[in-house]
């Protein structure tokens, strides 16, 4: 690093406690998702709230890490620091359970497609502060957002923003459009701790069966997007014999990284960013973070670019794979509600459903187990019990362990028949009866 950048760094460097005092009551604070959430700053902000030094701070984010659940989102601070979630995780579900027991409203959710979150936070919410974990500073005086470029990069460029960065040498230094110059920072805090680890979701024989079906729908040279969880992991395991695959995905996962390491992914047939795997955030194990660090074959870009359906469609033969919780007999998907309560959110599902289908030769795949609750509930249902995440007009290919169906070009009656064929046999008679009663077939 040059002398001027080093001097700027030292001038801005302070303690987490001091940096937290720069956030006033009434602030609207954004933080990146998961690995980009800054533990020292969050702990210091929580302590200010416990001391009643701040109030009415609203924190906007997706996919909360456990560190935030143990600090700023402590139940006892609920009236002082308010979670404003764009995507629920286990943290919000645990808070909702506690809130329900005390007759309090659930954690609030801001419905939004992932690609539109930067605009939502800047234009509609009006966030005035960004706190984020970043990598070590490079010789040009830039910090990489590393595993969490997401909406943070776009927000970091908002004029007049209060920008407090937690520098962590364990955050991977990733190339691409993911850099924040030291000259933009309001304050810097150092905190060299391990990044949050997302354990691999346990897979079972149903996951592997679905993964094998989806892998069979992928051709050599296709460009992949994978969601989170056991099903996408199973798909990656089924792709070991493929060649010349590409990656343009919102989330970089250990499964996708393994395909790069094995030579299955070389990005040689992409129309954009040839030779590079593109993502906007990463979450997984330490091996994933090590893979990303200073790797010239991987680049991170902001979510309003990566998840823009028009950008996605510039690559040919994009295959997006996402999971859902329910599919009705028309093909509409509820991917975010369980038992009448918010479980996750829409995230980038619709971005990639539309972007993949718009690409030349592209395929959008929605997958789920045929049943839930130990086989007592069908995931294919006459009517959704939550909001429509992916509309029936957008749903393309549906996969369960009983096979797959292409819904495009099918009438409502044909869709109902195809989806009933993907349901668990124990529920098909009831679904057929419901389809007749509602006039679907």
Q: How far apart are CA 24 and CA 379, in angstroms?
A: 46
Q: Dihedral through CA 34, CA 195, CA 91, CA 25, nearest 10? A: -70
Provide the 10 A C-beta neighbour count for residue 85: 24
Q: What are phi and psi of 217, to 5 degrees?
A: -90, -5
For residue 369, give the nearest of 326, 426, 430 by alpha carbon: 326
Judge whether 55 counts as a catalytic residue. no
Handedness of CA 357, 109, 129, 197 (dihedral sign): negative
Which residues are 83's β-sheet partners?
59
Identified catalytic residue from 166, 250, 336, 401: 250
* First-to-last C-alpha distance (Å) of the chain: 69
- DSSP H or E run through 84: strand 81-85
Q: What are phi and psi of 256, to 5 degrees?
A: -65, -40
CB 129 within 8 A of CB 23: yes
State how beta strands 341-342 and 333-334 pair.
unpaired
231 Cβ contact partners less than 8 Å away, ≥ 6 residues apart: 207, 210, 211, 214, 321, 323, 367, 368
Paired tokens of 385: 């019990």
Catalytic residues: 250
């Amino acid at each position: 690093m040059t002398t001027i950048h080093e001097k700027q760094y030292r001038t801005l460097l302070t303690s987490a406690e001091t940096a937290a005092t720069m956030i006033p009551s009434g602030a609207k604070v954004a933080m990146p998702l998961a690995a980009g959430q800054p533990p020292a700053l969050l702990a210091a902000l929580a302590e200010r709230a416990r001391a009643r030094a701040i109030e009415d701070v609203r924190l906007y984010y997706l996919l909360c890490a456990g560190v935030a659940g143990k600090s700023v989102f402590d139940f006892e601070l609920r009236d002082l620091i308010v979670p404003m979630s764009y995507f629920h995780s286990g943290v919000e579900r645990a808070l909702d359970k506690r809130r329900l027991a005390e007759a309090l409203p659930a954690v609030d959710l801001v419905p939004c497609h992932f690609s539109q979150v930067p605009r939502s936070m800047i234009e509609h919410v009006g966030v005035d502060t960004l706190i984020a974990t970043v990598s070590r500073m490079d010789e040009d005086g830039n910090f990489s957002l590393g595993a969490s470029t997401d909406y943070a990069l776009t927000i970091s460029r908002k004029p007049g923003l209060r920008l407090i960065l937690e520098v962590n040498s364990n955050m991977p230094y990733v190339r691409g459009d993911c850099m924040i110059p030291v000259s933009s920072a309001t304050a810097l805090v150092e905190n060299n701790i391990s990044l949050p680890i997302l354990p691999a979701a346990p897979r079972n024989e149903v996951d592997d069966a679905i993964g094998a079906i989806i892998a069979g729908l992928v051709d050599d040279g296709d460009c992949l997007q994978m969601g989170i969880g056991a099903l996408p992991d199973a798909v990656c395991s089924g792709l070991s014999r493929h060649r010349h695959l590409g990656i343009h995905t919102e989330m970089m996962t250990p499964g996708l990284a393994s395909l790069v390491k094995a030579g299955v992914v070389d990005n040689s047939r992409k129309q954009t960013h040839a030779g590079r795997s593109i993502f906007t955030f990463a979450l997984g194990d330490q091996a994933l973070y090590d893979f990303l660090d200073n790797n010239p074959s991987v680049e991170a870009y902001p979510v309003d670019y990566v998840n823009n359906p028009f950008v996605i469609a510039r690559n040919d033969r994009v295959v997006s794979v996402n999971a859902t919780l329910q599919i009705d007999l028309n093909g509409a998907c509820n991917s975010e509600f369980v038992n009448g309560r918010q479980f996750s959110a829409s995230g980038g599902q619709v971005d990639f459903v539309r972007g993949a289908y718009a690409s030349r030769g592209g395929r959008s795949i929605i997958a789920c187990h045929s049943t839930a609750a130990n086989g007592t509930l069908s995931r294919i249902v006459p009517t959704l019990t939550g909001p429509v995440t992916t509309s029936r007009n957008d749903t393309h290919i549906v996969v369960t362990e009983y096979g797959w169906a292409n819904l495009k070009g099918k009438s409502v009656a044909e869709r109902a028949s195809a989806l009933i064929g993907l349901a668990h046999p124990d529920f098909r008679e009831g679904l057929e009866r419901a389809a007749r009663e509602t006039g679907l077939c």
